[in-house]
Amino acid sequence: MRIVFLGPPGAGKGTQAALLSKKFSIPHVSSGDLLREAVTEKSAIGLKAKGYMDRGELVPDEIITRIIIDRISRGDAKTGFILDGFPRTERQAKTLDESLSKVSLSLDAVIYFETSKNVCVERLAGRRVCGKCGVNYHIKNMPPRKDGICDHCQGELYQRNDDKVDTIENRLTVYSQMTKPLIDYYKNGGLLKEVSGDLELEEAQRDLSDILREAQAA
């Protein structure tokens, strides 16, 4: 089952993908996480990507596309994947289609998280991430048991550089200009399903699970 999660920053794509990848036993492939790993490792790609990410701009298509195509070609993605944060431009979407079709594969569904702007801003500004295991929290909606400390590994929580208010605004603008047109791209391809990103975690997860079960059965 090959699924894409599409939606604005803060829609809950990463949170839901992490839970559903366990439930459906397919890898969660997050373009943002892969780029942040490269930044932490200070690899050549990470050094190139960092500035774009800190400003809330998209990293160049050729960099991210190579990373994603490599990742979904690995053995654990043979039975499928949830792509979170990729594609984000029409060029990325076309390259993904072409590379899947070279191995006689295609996407099963693209799930669009329709989310209000104020919800996105509130979620991003309150997000905290574990520096050790990467789990996401929210200071109000999903607080850790102990302030600033991860429930799972006791790692310290930090705020992402791009979760500062000015950068959030820029990310939302970039999303509207560069990524939102993919809604029509996938609608025209007959792949688009829609959920509300404004819903509470469990409700949204129920709707997403239904769509994933349908895709699995098809």
Residues designated catalytic: 13, 88, 127, 160, 171
Give the whole-angstrom CA distance, residue 104 versus residue 182: 22
Does 31 bind ligand AP5 (CB under 6 A)? Our answer is yes
Count of chain residues binding ligand AP5 (CB under 6 A): 37
Q: Note whether 57 and 174 are within 8 A (CB).
A: yes
Per DSSP, what are the bridge partners of residue 84? 5, 30
Rounded least distance, CB 106 to ligand AP5, Å: 19
Radius of gyration of the chain from its Cα atoms, rounded to whole angstroms: 17
The binding track of 110-149 with respect to ligand AP5, each residue x by CB under 6 A or -, is -------------xx--x--------xxx--xx-------
Using rule CB under 6 A, residue 32 touches ligand AP5 = yes
Q: Does 64 bind ligand AP5 (CB under 6 A)?
A: yes
Contact partners, residue 44, CB within 8 Å, separation at least 6: none
Tokens of 63: 């960099």
CB atoms inside a 10 Å sphere around CB 81: 23
| Sites of contact with ligand AP5 (CB under 6 A) | 7, 9-15, 31-32, 35, 52-53, 56-59, 64, 85-88, 92, 123-124, 127, 136-138, 141-142, 162, 171, 199-201, 204
